[in-house]
């Protein structure tokens, strides 16, 4: 299968893409951070020094220890190893990003394709005006409001963020689709009697993929930021879940004396978000996009 000409061509394209991508050291650093965080998250139970500290665990004899060889990032007020909890915290952050994006991208993109293709009709008006309403309030505040009427949990936080996030994809794809519909290849497909489904998903969508993909990479970072903000105020993940935002919020109470409880999880959030941002910027340069 991999010997077929199509696959040869794809492999060649990929190789060229990687060459261009790897010319920019900043993008490679981003990729490195993303891979590192994903690796730590995936193998957290095996590489964390104290995997049992991720959940409900108490050892007051080792409570609030400053960073040492035994606990490189120190321990929290319950005596839990912060480094181990950060590894598990990566799991929740990444899960949040992946779940939210897989929930919002398909509907957001489909609505954007339809609104863009039917530009100038009532369908466009309906979809885009609803989108405008959702975009009229900062996403964090709407997500907070939704979370507040639900029971606080990781699951509900993901639902709340998803509910607020799809309009960004609708708007992005709408812009692309409404200009692509005037391209000759779309008109050619129309003239030969291709179905609307074929035109939307086989002609227009493939030309939007690089933009969507880049936005997804950048959004992984934003979703993780908003998720950590939700848990920070207590409307997201609940203790003893090792969520990075919750850990920062808990640690903030013990500043400035036990600074390590809040500072290391905060740095962990920054590294994750930075990785996805650098990666996204790398993709943007690679695909030579402007509008994201």
Q: Among 35, 47, 58, 141, which residue sits at the site for another protein (rule: CB under 8 A)?
A: 141
263 scored as a contact of another protein (CB under 8 A): yes
Supply the angle between the helices 139-149 and 154-180 in degrees, to the nearest 10. 140
Residues 171-200 that bind another protein (CB under 8 A): 175, 178-179
* Residue 277 touches another protein, criterion: CB under 8 A: yes
Question: Taking CB under 8 A as the rule, does residue 231 contact another protein?
Answer: no
Q: According to CB under 8 A, which one of 10, 16, 129, 196 is a site residue for another protein?
A: 129
Contacts of 174 (CB under 8 A, 6+ apart): 112, 115, 116, 124, 127, 128, 131
| CA distances from residue 92 to 96, 113, 157 in whole angstroms, order as listed | 6, 31, 12
Q: Which is nearer to another protein, 54 or 146 (CB)?
A: 146
Burial-class residue 42 by CB neighbours within 10 Å (0-12, 13-18, 19+).
Answer: middle
232 is a site residue for another protein (CB under 8 A)? yes
Part in contact with another protein (CB under 8 A); list of ranges 46-54, 86-94, 101-109, 261-269: 261-269
For residues 69 and 136, which CB has a smaller minimum distance to another protein in the complex? Answer: 136
What's the DSSP call for residue 77? T
Tokens of 272: 């994750």
Yes or no: say if 97 and 220 are a contact pair by the CB < 8 Å rule. yes
Size of the site for another protein (CB under 8 A): 45
| Torsion, Cα of 237, 162, 40, 33 (10° steps) | -130
- 278 contacts another protein (rule: CB under 8 A): yes
- List interacting residues with another protein (CB under 8 A): 129-130, 132-134, 136-142, 144-151, 175, 178-179, 221, 225, 228-229, 232-235, 248, 252, 255-256, 259, 262-263, 266, 269-270, 273-274, 277-278
């Amino acid at each position: 299968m991999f010997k077929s000409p199509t696959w040869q061509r794809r492999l060649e394209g990929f190789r060229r893409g990687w060459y261009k991508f790897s010319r920019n050291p900043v993008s490679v650093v981003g990729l490195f951070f993303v891979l590192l965080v994903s690796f730590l998250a995936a193998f957290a139970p095996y590489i964390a020094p104290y995997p049992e500290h991720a959940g409900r665990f108490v050892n007051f004899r080792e409570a609030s220890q400053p960073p040492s060889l035994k606990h490189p990032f120190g321990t929290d007020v319950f005596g839990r190893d912060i480094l181990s909890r950060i590894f598990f915290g990566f799991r929740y952050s990444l899960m949040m990003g992946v779940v939210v994006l897989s929930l919002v991208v398909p509907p957001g993109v489909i609505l954007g394709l339809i609104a863009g293709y039917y530009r100038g009709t009532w369908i466009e008006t309906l979809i885009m005006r609803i989108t405008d309403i959702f975009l009229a309030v900062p996403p964090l505040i709407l997500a907070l409001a939704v979370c507040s009427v639900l029971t606080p949990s990781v699951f509900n936080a993901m639902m709340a963020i998803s509910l607020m996030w799809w309009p960004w994809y609708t708007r992005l794809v709408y812009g692309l689709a409404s200009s692509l519909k005037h391209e000759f290849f779309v008109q050619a497909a129309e003239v030969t009697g291709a179905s609307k489904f074929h035109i939307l998903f086989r002609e227009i969508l493939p030309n939007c993929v690089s933009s969507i993909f880049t936005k997804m990479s950048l959004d992984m970072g934003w979703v993780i930021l908003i998720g950590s903000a939700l848990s920070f105020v207590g409307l997201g993940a609940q203790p003893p879940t090792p969520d990075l935002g919750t850990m920062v919020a808990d640690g903030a109470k013990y500043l400035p004396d036990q600074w390590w409880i809040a500072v290391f999880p905060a740095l962990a959030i920054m590294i994750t978000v930075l990785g996805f941002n650098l990666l996204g910027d790398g993709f943007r340069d690679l695909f030579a996009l402007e509008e994201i």
